[in-house]
Structure 1
Amino acid sequence: MNTERSYASRLATYLTWCNDREVEWSAPGFVNLLRFRDWLVSTPLPARGRKGTGAPRFRKESSANAVLTTMTEFLRFGVGHGWVPSQVAESLSQPKFLRFVPHGFESGENGQFRQVRARTIKFKVDDPGIECFTPDQVDLMIRLARHARDKFLIVLMRATGMRIGETLGLRREDLHLLADSRSLGCRSKGPHVHVRRRPDNINNALAKSVKSRVVPVGEEVVLSYRDYQWERAEVPQADECDMVFVNLFRGPLGRPMSYPNAKQLFDRIAKWAEIVARPHMLRHTAATEWIAAGVPQDVVQTLLGHASPASLSPYLHASDARKREAVERVAREAR
């Protein structure tokens, strides 16, 4: 749901720009698309602070690329439905031969799939890589979390690599934290969590993958959940809700936590810890730690719920620390 909200906002930016300049959105012309691209980074964003008196802010090129990607895919979608002329879609990309392919990419018997279409309306930016936490940062976030519920949220996401939508969409029946869950009608062994897609969640939390999966958890998750249950029991309204994460400290009490609630939580902790902290970084952290620990890639792919092995490619790049460790280990063995 949060992804759809982001796409809608980016698309609204493009449509509003066209409307303000009386440009036909379905046939804007290549020159106007270039003007839109430059406008994205040259026009100040609304100022923050009281009464809009904050310092001017500008959209980063990487953020502008996200808007341009959404615009491009929407126009291509429009071609298939007859809303947009085909020549518009053709101007949005050009042929490109992939000299290097990501892990898991199928090039074809004669390399025919190396020829792809590359976007023409974009900024060239350096790939910053994935953002994740260090172990010390995760420990600090857990210590700074004021409530057992918030600590459990952080511990669970770091241990399972679940997306925030999957986490907020959990119901109590999804948590099988006993050593043996056969009494619950479940054959999975050991403590674990079921990740399921439910379109009817009243907080609009939605798992991205339509395929359910089981993610094992350890003692830290079990103990953290126990502490949260003691805290939750102090709020009678929470008994009426089957969702795992609910409002306990502000109204409406007992209602499921929403994505804005979770974002506010991470924003507060980030301010206290003086770090950048977003929910999705815990997913990156889990994946990075699994890869570094030597967990097979097919296992990591299953734990994360990725449909394609290529989705793991961002986590497979060796960090400076890991490269240094490898060189020093070989040197020690040589000595």
Structure 2
Amino acid sequence: MEQEVEMRAFPVRMPSGTGYWTVVDDDLVVVREADRFLRELRLARDRAESTTKAHAGGVALFLRWCAGTGRDWRTAARDMGLFILWLKWMPGDGERGRVVVSGPGSEPVRGNARINAVLAAVRGFLVHAVVEKSVPGWVLDEIYEVGDSRDLPFEAQGEDGGLRYRLSTRHRLREEESGVDRATDEEVVAMFLACRSARDRLIVLLLARVGLRRGQVAGLRRCDLHLLMDSRSLGCAVEGAHVHVVRRQNENGAWSKSRRSHALPVDFLVVRACDQYALERHEVLGAGGSDFVLVNLARPPYGSPVTPEAIGEIVQSLSGRAGLSRRVTSRMCRHAMASNVADAGGSLDEVQALLGHENPASARPYLHPKASRLRDAVERVSSPRVRVEEGRR
């Protein structure tokens, strides 16, 4: 019989203002090994606070399973298959008391994608523990298949002929491919018209016309907006109206996934929306308020920065208010921007730069060509008969 043991993710705010998530037990005592891993993830590896939150949740589930089934977490990797079954059928926090019936025809508590995310967090935790020598090295053999370059084709072994090792995860469930769809132009326009404030209109345009992530939108500072055609007076050499995307620590939890700072061009619609929002903000706050671009104007605390979560809620509310047949998310707006650039003839490297990706391949999932562009591509290919007739001339 499994014992009921509580392990949960818990937010931590350091004196510097930096935040991360850790794991605490029944008595709200921090689990030291998990805390060291999560703190390193945030500080040494410079990962987002939201990333530590997701990892903390996965590690908490693993430790809860270990404690509840009487296993030592340091050696429980040998039973990872049983942990996967537990994840699939055992209710999580907020679901205690729910009756779960496993077997054919029943619905799993967690889907394969969620289970894979938990397993990724646990692997990271155990690898860190191996490095710290708090877990025996053989644990790596339980979570990874270790191979070397000798079984690769000769061409792939490298010019120096040296022996290279590679790791492949042992436990990973198959996920159904469910790519993120793009928001259509009609949906973006409907959401824009449903806005009741200049601030919300600016949010829609920053997502759908500039392609920013919601964390980047919430993290914009007033000094990041360079809306003049010539910004040399501001000490900036970037031509034309643009916004700077800067990775920095923000009090509202906003975070840019792009490690490098970069400037993104904006069109006249975004410039006009910025002007209208500046007037709206001045009427409420005057010259005061936070240095963040987007702040609370409708309810206290007035002038406080809008959070990334609030950005997502605003977009969700707008899609409902606009009467759309589906829920449009901020990420779908970003996909729409990338696809519109491609539909207008933009190349992959241009889409990559506008999205702030370092790897060109990272931009491919964001491209959702319109049906009309696919038809045009087919019609541009001449028929075999035309090519034969041209060859006879």
Fold equivalence (TM over 0.5):
yes
C-alpha deviation, 1:292, in angstroms: 3.5
**Contact 2:204 / 2:315 at 8 angstroms: preserved in 1?**
no
**Contact 2:216 / 2:255 at 8 angstroms: preserved in 1?**
yes
- The aligned counterpart of 1:41 is 88
**2:258 maps to 1:206:** no
Q: 1:292 to 1:70 in 2, by over 3 A?
A: farther
Identity of aligned pairs, percent? 35
Q: Deviations over 1:174-224 (max 9, x none)?
A: 00111111221211111000111122x221212223311010110111111
- Work out the CA distance in 1 between the residues paired with 2:335 and 2:165: 30
**Contact 2:181 / 2:368 at 8 angstroms: preserved in 1?**
no
C-alpha deviation, 1:331, in angstroms: 5.9
Q: Deviations over 1:18-51 (max 9, x none)?
A: 23223222321332x2122122232345679xxx
Counting matched residue pairs gives 319
**Contact 1:78 / 1:84 at 8 angstroms: preserved in 2?**
yes
- Work out the CA distance in 2 between the residues paired with 1:230 and 1:214: 24
Among 65, 68, 72, the residue aligned to 1:17: 65
- Work out the CA distance in 1 between the residues paired with 2:346 and 2:170: 38
**Contact 2:89 / 2:108 at 8 angstroms: preserved in 1?**
no
SS in 2 for 1:155: helix
- The aligned counterpart of 1:100 is none
Among 247, 258, 265, the residue aligned to 2:307: 258
Q: Deviations over 1:221-249 (max 9, x none)?
A: 11111221222122127723110010111
**Contact 2:229 / 2:241 at 8 angstroms: preserved in 1?**
yes
Q: 1:165 to 1:324 in 2, by over 3 A?
A: same
Q: 1:277 to 1:318 in 2, by over 3 A?
A: closer
- Work out the CA distance in 1 between the residues paired with 2:135 and 2:286: 51
Rg bigger for which structure?
2
- Work out the CA distance in 2 between the residues paired with 1:6 and 1:237: 39
Supply the AA of the counterpart residue of 1:18: C
Larger relative contact order (Cα-Cα within 8 Å, sequence gap ≥ 6): 1
- Work out the CA distance in 2 between the residues paired with 1:276 and 1:151: 18
Calculate the aligned-residue CA RMSD, in Å. Answer: 3.3
- The aligned counterpart of 1:102 is none
Q: Deviations over 1:72-110 (max 9, x none)?
A: 22222222222332222222222689xxxxxxxxx6756
- The aligned counterpart of 1:242 is 291
C-alpha deviation, 1:152, in angstroms: 0.7
TM-score, normalised by the number of residues in structure 1: 0.82
- The aligned counterpart of 2:122 is 71
Alignment of 1:129-140 (within 5 A): 129-140=179-190
**Contact 2:202 / 2:273 at 8 angstroms: preserved in 1?**
yes
TM-score, normalised by the number of residues in structure 2: 0.71
Alignment of 1:264-279 (within 5 A): 264-272=313-321, 273-279=324-330
Among 209, 216, 219, the residue aligned to 1:169: 219
C-alpha deviation, 1:17, in angstroms: 2.5
Alignment of 1:1-335 (within 5 A): 1-31=49-79, 33-44=80-91, 58-94=109-145, 109=158, 116-199=166-249, 201-236=250-285, 239-272=288-321, 273-315=324-366, 322-330=373-381
Supply the AA of the counterpart residue of 2:206: L
- Work out the CA distance in 2 between the residues paired with 1:44 and 1:230: 50
SS in 1 for 2:76: coil
